[in-house]
Structure 1
């Protein structure tokens, strides 16, 4: 017996409800492999955003992902650079001894230079300096010219050969090495530098000091501003300053030399550190 006209609307509604239930079941079964329209998904009680759009041509199934909310970042920071200085007594001297010779022919200049430098190296080794502490740092041959007034041009008058060695010596032996090299024939010097063998130890102390100074400065600024610090977001070593180097030029003399006075003093090992803190949100 069919539905009466009065019951027709109710039957139609039940039919639509059953059709919608079948559609939702199909959508739920296929949600991990196919696209689902926004309207159909919400009609089934699923208010989450659609996972993907229509699959690309060719039937390839897309990778399903769900959007994540982007976290807000606080970029308010306070930055400061601290300086640390550690003083140390040098225990290592680095000095340069050179020989310069000049002759009319290049081979002659080089030969004279080689013989003279051999004597200098032998004298340095005689002071207890090992081969590993001696290194050739410069070897050069130059033309020597002289201005001729009559010709109004430079005229070649000879050749100059230069050979320089770098010697690493304990500070208490440096004077003997220096004077022995000069007495043996060294007639030029590039410079003298003082250093410490365990430089890393003093460098780390300077870095610790610099970091402490930077943090204390940041805390002082935060207190003056009435804000609270959150966390360190950056700590960077700014630069490293090498030990001081002073130049000394001299010439060997024929008469007996007095001991050359040197004053090592103290080295200043300096480090700088840049630190940045974030500020807590109010």
Structure 2
């Protein structure tokens, strides 16, 4: 009885091995076919141009005082006026954000003498977003007239970049397909299918921030001229195509 069981187990094992061996050539053929496929790897970029509808500006107030508390108190009073001017100009609370607040001792340095404390300087900066660019120059002027001692920079962007990105994507895919067709014709191949498609990059505000400075109260009726220009939205794509003769 034991011999019969052993013989049955041996036959089952042999059958399993034969089945596995029969499956190996089919798998090998599939792998070889994939390995032998001729592929073309390419990348391209697309671009769309659009007028910005958003500006980001950094405004600052610097005040001096004999004590740290005095410098901060003067700074708070001046910044309160600046924020009030911003709100009067139509800037919403959500578009005003404190980006830096600091107070630092100020020293006088003389040759061969230890540094001498000369008071304190407080600095407060807010980053604001202006959604109505027609009022941008007036907004900047209003803050300076209210006590802002510097305007650190301005950059332009889009409140909703989706449409501009999609236009750049379509342009990128068209450029990619044209390039693939060109390579295929030049090498005597035909495109069978698109194997993979990937995206890199995306919306980036352009041009980069431009420096602006305001160190004195401006007394004039005309607002500061500010030109928003044009933004370029770029999307990069890459793809793999399968080719045949």
Verify: 1:223 aligned to 2:198, yes or no. no
Q: Distance in 2 between matches of 1:115 and 1:121?
A: 10
Name the SS of the counterpart of 2:150 in structure 1: coil
Task: Please state how far the C-alpha of 1:123 moved relative to its aligned partner.
Answer: 0.6
Q: Distance in 2 between matches of 1:271 and 1:265?
A: 20
Q: Which residue of 1 aligns with 2:213?
A: 249
Task: Please state how far the C-alpha of 1:167 moved relative to its aligned partner.
Answer: 1.6
Task: Please state how far the C-alpha of 1:223 moved relative to its aligned partner.
Answer: 0.7
Task: Kindly provide the CA deviation profile for residues 5-31 of structure 1, in whole angstroms up to 9, marking residues without a partner as x.
Answer: xxxxxxxxxxxxxxxxxx8xx97xx5x
Task: Please state how far the C-alpha of 1:157 moved relative to its aligned partner.
Answer: 2.3
Q: Which residue of 2 aligns with 1:270?
A: 234
Q: CA contact under 8 A between 2:144 and 2:214: conserved in structure 1?
A: no
Q: Distance in 1 between matches of 2:238 and 2:23?
A: 40
For the aligned residues, what is the CA RMSD? 2.6
The runs of 5 or more residues in structure 1 that have no matched partner are 1-22, 53-64
Task: Please state how far the C-alpha of 1:200 moved relative to its aligned partner.
Answer: 0.8
Larger RCO (CA under 8 A, 6+ residues apart): 2
Q: CA contact under 8 A between 1:145 and 1:158: conserved in structure 2?
A: yes
**Higher percent of residues as strand:** 2
* Number of residues of Structure 1 aligned to a counterpart in Structure 2: 232
Larger Rg computed on CA atoms: 1
Task: Kindly provide the CA deviation profile for residues 170-189 of structure 1, in whole angstroms up to 9, marking residues without a partner as x.
Answer: 11121121111110000112
Which aligned pairs between 1:110-149 and structure 2 lie closer than 5 A? Answer: 110-149=72-111
The 1:161–1:214 alpha-carbon spacing in structure 2 relative to 1, beyond 3 Å, is: same
Q: Which residue of 2 aligns with 1:69?
A: 27
Q: Which residue of 1 aligns with 2:45?
A: 83
The 1:35–1:248 alpha-carbon spacing in structure 2 relative to 1, beyond 3 Å, is: farther
Q: Distance in 2 between matches of 1:128 and 1:214?
A: 45
TM-score (norm 1): 0.74
**Higher percent of residues as helix:** 2
Verify: 1:158 aligned to 2:119, yes or no. yes
Out of 159, 165, 174, the residue aligned to residue 212 of structure 1 is: 174
Task: Please state how far the C-alpha of 1:247 moved relative to its aligned partner.
Answer: 2.1
Q: CA contact under 8 A between 2:106 and 2:117: conserved in structure 1?
A: yes
